[in-house]
Homo-oligomer: A and B are copies of this chain.
Amino acid sequence: MAQQEIERKFLVKGDYKRFVSKETKIVQGFLCTVPERTVRVRIKGDKGFLTIKGIGNESGTSRYEFEKEIAVADAKDLMKICEPGVIDKTRYIVKANNELFFEVDEFYGENEGLTIAELELPSEDTAFEKPTWLGEEVTGDVRYFNAMLMKNPYKNWD
């Protein structure tokens, strides 16, 4: 049985930066974003990656994923032939309780001004303490998907 991961997504309303344990610069683009498969090029810190994902199964619990590390120079070249709308962000790791961590993404470029916090939970009923800097929950809101932020960036929202 595939394990279902629960991911909850929130806006950020306060200062989380003094709780940050790690930060990584991420730049990513997509070579392919059809419903059946995506091909992503990513530079994460000082490493390059190519990630290919297939369509999920009917219940959405599992999705084929292939990831291969590539040279940063190759990732930069591949970024040039990606679909328009490269995503540029810093990912901050912020400790929550119970061995859990928030991934807080601060966006730049066309998505400047947007910061999203994500929390992966082992199950839907896992309790966690809401830190004071955590804002409105936006889990499931498609506008905040990375693929959507490329096509309709935050700067264009009303």
CB-CB < 8 A to A81: which residues of B?
36-37, 52, 54-55, 64
Q: Looking at the complex, which one of B32, B34, B54, B80 makes contact with A80 (CB distance below 8 Å)?
A: B54
Size class of the A contact interface (CB-based, 8 Å): 10 to 19
For residue A68, CB closer than 8 A to chain B, the reply is yes
CB-CB contacts below 8 Å: A31-71 with B:
31-32, 34, 36-37, 39, 50, 52, 54-55, 64, 66, 68, 70
* Interface SS, A side: strand
Task: List 14 other contacts, CB 8 Å, given A50-B68, A54-B81.
Answer: A31-B37, A31-B39, A32-B32, A32-B34, A37-B81, A39-B39, A50-B50, A52-B78, A55-B81, A64-B80, A64-B81, A66-B78, A68-B68, A68-B70
